[in-house]
Amino acid sequence: MDLDQMQRRAWVSGGLIALLALLGLVMAFLQYRWTGELSRAEEARLKEALQQSLNRLSAGLDAELSATLGQLQPTPAEVADLGREAAYAARFRHNPHAKVFRELAIAIPNDGQLTLKRWTPEQGFAASEWPVAWTLLRDQLTSRMRGERLRPGEPNEFLLEIPRFGRPPVPGGLAEQDWLILELDPAYLRDVFLARQIARHLGPGSYQVEVYASDAAGTPLLRLGLPEGATLRRNALASVRLFERQRPEMRPPFAGGKRGRPDPGSAGWQLYASLPGGSLGDLVDRTRWRNLAMALTLLLLIVATALLLVRSARQAQQLAELQMNFVSGVSHELRTPLTVIRTAAFNLRGAVAAKPEQVERYGKLIQEQSEKLGALVEQVLRYASTRAGQVIQEREAVLIDDVIEGGIASSQLALDASPYQLEKDIPADLPLVLADERALQHVVRNLLDNAVKYGTETSNWIGLTARQDADVVEIRVADRGPGIPAEERALVFDPFFRGRRALADQVQGTGLGLSLVKKIVEAHGGSIEVRQHIPQGSEFVVRIPVAPPEMQDEFAHTAG
């Protein structure tokens, strides 16, 4: 497969990957939209669920407080047997939630006026003046007792009155005989009643909670799960009213009055609740982005997997085609010398080669083709050895001049077949290198063969130099041919690779030579690179580490 085909297939593969990435982005966008819709639905569901929990909390709180209040009112039989004050005191002492009230009193009608008796544990019920904070309640109870219009005003949210009904002197129904007045303890309501209902209906630590005495701005009565300085009044997920005072419809009316109705002017506490970690919008946004990030990650993994699969498939296809080219090249390389040898042998056996000079010519031809065949077999065997991990044999200290001369001698056939001009520059004082001499000779031979094969088209000059550079010896093989294109220089050391010009000119080869050269050089701890030769051509630079100093000294002593 030539370079143009490789580039075309690379463009096709790149286009498929780009299309897959585009589809991934479209899927990510759709995922973002769908996640937004799901998030809005989840937001509505969370709001509704929390509001229902708060409604149950409020109902449970009112039911518990109503049950506590109902236990404080004595029956007519208890009042008849014990007396009014004693019956109320007995009920108060046996109530398990008596601590919810910080004040207990009885308002008793007396000649058109209301007498107030307040409770103390030491004296029981004793007559008392009306506290200033209870003035509105006193006036409203007096109006009710007289059948007058109730006086408007802002009620005390912690002050409750429970009427006790009985038979009036004039037949016609039930009338209010007296009123039990209770003042709630906000701290007990908050810390016992409210805390119990919050734990029951919301769960400990599940929500952020803030409670205010009314809708007006002020200091919150209770804060749960909120960081310092944060407030829920404006961004709460749900809210509910607590302790709203009402006169239930079941209460009998006082004499001449109307049936009781909820008091629209009553005030209660306001509870705000939200999710921990911020507002619901923030939580939904975080969830949305988290889901989007997970979706994008999955899409990226899919794209990366597809990219790796495409790349692996392309590499496998390229390798298969290169191997097929290698098999084709090797078959041709084997067929040519075998055909020449068979033809020369046939001529030698017949009458064609009757003269000694003809015999000599055919013998030389057989020798040349045999050496070519042997070089090809050696190259294939070396490649097989490198695949098995046996790149070089045992190394020893050798002279670089011997390595280069051996490489030139083994490449003599290729050199003789071309009108080349080999220019050598090898100093005599180069240090020893620790190497497999035969393997390094193969490196030099392959570089010279390539220079003859590809670099003598426009000039028959070949340069071979060696220099010491610090702790390495550099061997440079240069030519002044057309050179190697820049895009191919990174590929020339790949197995089975053959350049565009070699394929176009049908230059025979297996594509294994430079790959073997690189493996041999790297097995010696060295390196090889190809660069553009100035003014034109190519230059291969091989760097081999010098032998340790003790080997240098030992060789000098032996030579001396």
Strand partners, 272: 210, 239
Angle CA 515–516–519, to nearest 5: 90
Nearest CA to 483 out of 507, 500, 466, 496 is that of 500
Residue 24, pLDDT score:
67
Reported as a pLDDT band with limits 50, 70 and 90, residue 262 is very low
How far from each other are the two terminal CA atoms of the chain, in whole angstroms?
A: 56
How many DSSP H helices and E strands does the chain contain?
Answer: 14, 16
| Model confidence band, residue 464 (pLDDT cutoffs 50, 70, 90) | very high
Rounded CA-CA distance 53/47 in Å is 10
CB 546 within 8 A of CB 429: no
Place of tokens 């803030």: 210
Which position has the higher pLDDT, 381 or 101? Answer: 101
Query: Do residues 125 and 85 lie in contact, with contact meaning Cβ atoms separated by under 8 Å?
Result: yes
389 pLDDT tier (thresholds 50, 70, 90): low
Place of tokens 């097989």: 384
Q: Find the mean pLDDT for residues 408-433.
A: 78
Tokens linked to 360? 């000599």
Cα–Cα dist 432/322, whole Å: 38
Report the mean per-residue pLDDT for the chain: 77
In this model, does residue 546 exceed pLDDT 60? yes
pLDDT at 467 over 90: yes
Confidence at residue 277, expressed as pLDDT on a 0 to 100 scale:
61
Dist CA 183 CA 137 (whole Å): 12
The domains found in the chain, sorted by start residue, are: 98-279 (no CATH), 394-559 (3.30.565.10)
Are 238 and 47 a contacting pair, CB within 8 Å?
Answer: yes
Question: Where would I find the H helices in 71-122?
Answer: 76-82, 84-93
**Using an 8 Å Cβ cutoff, are 237 and 280 in contact?**
yes
Contacts of 325 (CB under 8 A, 6+ apart): 1, 496, 498, 511
| Whether residue 26 has pLDDT greater than 70 | yes
Please determine, for residue 457, whether its predicted confidence score (pLDDT) is greater than 90: no
Range among 82-91, 304-313, 386-395 with highest mean pLDDT value: 82-91
Task: Please compute the mean of the pLDDT values over residues 234-256 and round it to a whole number.
Answer: 58
Q: Which residue has the tokens 């008796």?
A: 117
The tokens for 320 are: 């298969």
Antiparallel, parallel or unpaired: β 175-184 and 238-242: unpaired
Taking alpha carbons only, the member of 77, 140, 87, 85 closest to residue 108 is 85
pLDDT band at 171 (very low <50, low <70, confident <90, very high): low
Is the confidence at residue 231, as pLDDT, over 90?
no
302-317 pLDDT tens trace: 778 877 887 787 777 7
Q: How many CA within 13 A on the CB side of residue 283?
A: 17
pLDDT given at position 508: 63
Q: In this structure, what is the dihedral angle of CA atoms 520, 521, 522, 527, given to the nearest 10 degrees? A: -160
Structural contact between residues 158 and 186, judged by C-beta atoms closer than 8 angstroms: yes
**Amino acid at site 7:** Q
Q: 474 in helix, strand or coil?
A: strand
DSSP track, 123-189? TEEEEEPPPGGGHHHHHHHHHHHHTPPPPP----TTEEEEEEEE--SSSSS-EEEEEEEEEE-HHHI
pLDDT of residue 64: 81
φ, ψ of residue 411 to 5 degrees: the values are -100, 15
Is residue 138 within 8 Å of 84, Cβ to Cβ? Answer: no
pLDDT at 544: 93
Order of strands across the sheet that contains 269-274: 222-224, 208-212, 269-274, 238-242
* Predicted local confidence at residue 453, as pLDDT: 82
* pLDDT of 194: 82
d(CA 173, CA 466): 131
* pLDDT for 88 beyond 70: yes
Check residue 263 and give its pLDDT.
41
Check residue 540 and give its pLDDT. 93
Identify the pLDDT of residue 474. 93
For 515, the enclosing helix (H) or strand (E) is helix 513-523
Burial label, 240 (beta-carbon count in 10 A; 0-12, 13-18, 19+):
buried
| 87-96, 183-192, 242-251, 263-272, range with the lowest pLDDT | 242-251
pLDDT digits (tens, 9 = 90+) for 283-296: 666 766 777 777 77
pTM of the full structure: 0.44
Q: Characterize the bridge pairing of strands 101-110 and 208-212.
A: unpaired
Q: What is the pLDDT of residues 428-441, one digit of tens each?
A: 889 999 888 888 98
Residue tagged 């071979």 (tokens): 464
Highest averaged pLDDT of the listed ranges 45-59, 89-103, 331-345: 45-59
Q: What percent of the chain has pLDDT above 70?
A: 78
Cross-strand partners of 434: 397
